[in-house]
Structure 1
Amino acid sequence: MIPAGRPRRWRLLLFGAGDFACNLYWQSVTLYLLFFYTDVLGIAPVTAGLIYMAGAIWDGVADMLAGMIAQRGQYGYRRLIGWTAVPLGIAFVLLYRRPGIGTIGGVVAAQLAFRALYALVNIPYAAWSVRISEDSRDRTVVAGARMLFGAGAATIVALGIPWIAERAGGSAISVEGYGAAAAVFALVATPLLLFVVAMTPEAIPDVPALRPSIAHCVSALGRNRAFVTLNAAMAAAGIAATLLNQSVLYYHRHVVGDMATGAATLVLMGLVGVGVVPLWTLAATRIGARSTWFVAAALGIVCAAIFAVPVSGGAMARPFLIGMQVALVGFNLTGWALLPDTIDHGEAAGGIRVEAMAFGVSALVQKLAIAVAVLMIGTVYGSIGYVGSGSASATTATGITWLMIAGPALATALSVVAMAANPLRRGAHAAAMAELHRRRGT
């Protein structure tokens, strides 16, 4: 069963290190894959957006299927991760190769394979966090550790891909260079995942309905108000993050006219993300994760409003991006801290405990949100006459800028509406756990 005593802090941190490996993969896909398609492989932006959207939708379906396998299977979370870590590293390298079976077909096939294997690693890993501890503070620390390692990985990806690509392929936008960077990241991520699996025990919850039917799981999640509203807020935040992060390279290359500054800004955003994770973790443990979400949202909206002022000009771009990055880290931290608590809340309210499928459904929602955001980028860029090579027109530059400002701001506002309806106010999870202990006689 889940340990009654609180685990030692080093175990929480060790478990969180698994997100460093996962984010070497995920951050490269988030920050560079769409750019790789349009500016390295030369795929038209609308087509590239559709390919990325299809991959993101499949990613969500794969997450759902991985959740079903982990929820209903007899394998255990750590065993699933151990089986899939090596194939995932291989698939990641193939993602950044020039396709050999026709450009579009090869790109799609590589995406589908990578995202399916990533789901079989990431969903069991995320669900595993529920079994580390039943204490909200420990779960917040785990979320903070995961965010810290994830932000560190984002920094390394932002800096490492152009640096490795230029040295291995002779250019920061070469296929050979991107392939070399992917190989380096896979050689780091794979053994790290296997180390976390080897060193972290997995306790099995002592609950009678550990493996309810898929239909009962879906029904229970639909009735779980805490789960539904949290995922709505996280989806809105995911749209904001995708619109912002995907815009950085395009903005600096075609509006500022300096791609190197864009890569440097991504690195700086990653470093800032690392620095603010402890602050958001402290805030969430002091005032509660739900309240911390509102603080992060206020920061994001203020940053967008300031950058939107015409007199701010390009000089405010980097402060705007850094401020938004701080807010996005706050969303991620609080979202992952609250998600395990929604599982306990749902069991206390409905009598059915849904673990792995909850993370699978949540991941599906987030990937659909990313797909929507990328399709928005492809559609808007297509309508403003974006071309991957050459200089951008004034209309194109204006469209890139406003999508980067208004899109994240509107999505952030929608996340506030969703989080306002979430019932996990301070003390609500403790009350749910008290009820569960009463029922179990523990």
Structure 2
Amino acid sequence: MRLGWRTRIGYGSGDYALNLFWQGTGYYLFFFYTDVIGLPVATAGVIFAIGGLWDAISDSLMGYWAERTKSRHGTYRPYLLYGCLPLALSFIAIFYPYPIENDLLLIIVVTLALLVFRSAYTLVSIPYAALSVRLSQDSDERTRLATVRIVFGFLGGITAIILAGGLQDQLSDRLAFPIFATLCACLSVPILLFCFHNSHETAANTPSTPAVYSLGQLVKSMRRNAAFLLLCCGIILVTLGGALIGKTVLYIFVYDLGDRAAGNLTILLMTIIPILTIPLWSLLALRFGKKIGWLAGSATAFIGMIFLYADRSGSVLMAMLGYGVIAAGLSSFAVLFWSMLPDTIEFGDLRSGVRMNRRWWG
């Protein structure tokens, strides 16, 4: 059954709000740590690593917790309603230039602020991602839903980048980034509430009596579900590579090419390009299959990386071209992963009778 555009847009709008935060932290937070509040690069890297480790723990806990939630709003939707304000406030906190002279105390405060933000982001983003399964059980419709969602996500990223770039042009970094975070926070709350009101979990897609499985049963099911394991490994590698590319763009343009304005423009282009290419990846997947779409996206991103590595001209335009090709390739994973994930879960369900997103003993 096809979903109406009100549902598609309502659900997709949530990713607009989430990408104000995701792109904001991905492109600017590391730079804020090192060049605004003066943390050493190694220290900033350790703080990000701690945040990543916490994500690995909190994401799993949130998935376990969300699946067991029962409320009049459904299983996943309540987290959009009650999590939007804490998420907005925590985003402001990570871009605040704390006037702390003691280095150790500053590191502790910055780390705690990041962990609070990561927790708040997990509180909203994990249920939001799982909500798509409760909107439709049709594989092709999930591809369309994922396409709309990801387009909205990149629109959110564009908004964040335009705000950040414009403020940096007009103000000092120490003022620009806190104002940027506040504006993103103010935008996110009404949008997440809009998503909440227009994304309804249907009884047809919600298990009436969720099964309770032991941890051993789930592990056994995962071992038999090669498609799920391959998809997870693939997206982990894509996420690591994408994070490394995104966090270094501004440094390369500022310190290697000496053109900060071009760096901000490149970040903007890397967010605009996927809006143009995502519908193409979606059409390719619907026409030839999701596997072909994934491989084509991988090849495109690989070509862009090779071009960027091989170019020794020092040309700003060549660097922008390389990053643009990479962005076009990486955009395929955004839509295909969220479209393929429910398919792999259902594949495992058919093979083992154990559904990965149902309850396990605890």
TM-score (structure 1 length as normaliser) = 0.75
Whole-angstrom CA distance in 2 between matches of 1:356 and 1:250: 44
Whole-angstrom CA distance in 1 between matches of 2:358 and 2:25: 24
Whole-angstrom CA distance in 1 between matches of 2:86 and 2:301: 38
Deviation larger for 88-97 or 210-219: 210-219
Residues 207 and 351 (structure 1), Cα distance of their counterparts in 2 relative to 1, 3 Å cut: farther
Q: Paired residue for 1:46?
A: 42
- 2:202 corresponds to 1:203: yes
Residues 79 and 309 (structure 1), Cα distance of their counterparts in 2 relative to 1, 3 Å cut: closer
- Deviation, structure 1 residue 162: 3.0
Whole-angstrom CA distance in 1 between matches of 2:219 and 2:83: 26
- Deviation, structure 1 residue 223: 3.3
Whole-angstrom CA distance in 1 between matches of 2:6 and 2:283: 17
State which of 3, 6, 14 in structure 2 corresponds to 1:7.
3
**Gaps (5+ residues) in structure 2?**
none
Q: Paired residue for 2:280?
A: 279
Residues 49 and 11 (structure 1), Cα distance of their counterparts in 2 relative to 1, 3 Å cut: same
Q: Paired residue for 1:37?
A: 33
- 2:240 corresponds to 1:239: yes
Q: Paired residue for 1:341?
A: 343
1:169-318 mapped onto 2 (5 Å cutoff): 170-171=171-172, 173-174=173-174, 176-204=175-203, 205-206=206-207, 208-213=209-214, 216-310=217-311, 313-314=314-315, 315-318=317-320
Could you say what secondary structure the match of 2:38 adopts?
Answer: coil
RMSD: 2.0
- Deviation, structure 1 residue 9: 3.5
- Deviation, structure 1 residue 100: 5.9
Whole-angstrom CA distance in 1 between matches of 2:297 and 2:165: 30
Whole-angstrom CA distance in 2 between matches of 1:62 and 1:340: 21
Whole-angstrom CA distance in 2 between matches of 1:317 and 1:164: 24
Q: Paired residue for 1:131?
A: 134
- 2:108 corresponds to 1:105: yes
Whole-angstrom CA distance in 2 between matches of 1:297 and 1:211: 37
Residues 165 and 313 (structure 1), Cα distance of their counterparts in 2 relative to 1, 3 Å cut: closer
- Deviation, structure 1 residue 219: 4.3
Residues 97 and 219 (structure 1), Cα distance of their counterparts in 2 relative to 1, 3 Å cut: farther
CA contact (8 A) 1:306 1:312 kept: no
* Count, aligned residues: 350
- Deviation, structure 1 residue 27: 1.0
CA contact (8 A) 1:12 1:132 kept: no
CA contact (8 A) 1:31 1:246 kept: yes
Deviations 1:411-430 (A, max 9, x none): xxxxxxxxxxxxxxxxxxxx
Deviations 1:170-221 (A, max 9, x none): 21x22x3211111111111111111111222112423654454555445433
AA of the residue aligned to 2:125: N
Deviation larger for 24-33 or 71-80: 71-80
Q: Paired residue for 1:420?
A: none
AA of the residue aligned to 2:291: R
- Deviation, structure 1 residue 85: 1.1
Q: Paired residue for 2:125?
A: 122
CA contact (8 A) 2:36 2:97 kept: no
CA contact (8 A) 1:156 1:267 kept: no
Q: Paired residue for 1:433?
A: none
Deviations 1:349-370 (A, max 9, x none): 1112222789xxxxxxxxxxxx
Deviations 1:90-137 (A, max 9, x none): 111111112367210110110111111111100001001111111111
Residues 318 and 166 (structure 1), Cα distance of their counterparts in 2 relative to 1, 3 Å cut: closer
CA contact (8 A) 2:308 2:323 kept: no
CA contact (8 A) 1:68 1:214 kept: no
CA contact (8 A) 1:12 1:138 kept: no
CA contact (8 A) 2:69 2:76 kept: no
AA of the residue aligned to 1:46: A
Q: Paired residue for 1:21?
A: 17
Q: Paired residue for 2:157?
A: 154
CA contact (8 A) 1:72 1:212 kept: no
- 2:352 corresponds to 1:353: no
Could you say what secondary structure the match of 1:240 adopts?
Answer: helix
Whole-angstrom CA distance in 2 between matches of 1:307 and 1:48: 25
Residues 313 and 97 (structure 1), Cα distance of their counterparts in 2 relative to 1, 3 Å cut: closer
Q: Paired residue for 1:324?
A: 326
Whole-angstrom CA distance in 1 between matches of 2:123 and 2:190: 16
Q: Paired residue for 1:424?
A: none
Could you say what secondary structure the match of 1:17 adopts?
Answer: helix
AA of the residue aligned to 2:62: A
Residues 256 and 179 (structure 1), Cα distance of their counterparts in 2 relative to 1, 3 Å cut: same
Deviations 1:327-386 (A, max 9, x none): 01012211111111111111111112222789xxxxxxxxxxxxxxxxxxxxxxxxxxxx
Could you say what secondary structure the match of 2:270 adopts?
Answer: helix
CA contact (8 A) 1:220 1:350 kept: yes
Q: Paired residue for 1:86?
A: 85
**Gaps (5+ residues) in structure 1?**
359-442
Deviations 1:59-95 (A, max 9, x none): 2211111101012332410012211111111111111
Identity of aligned residues (%): 32
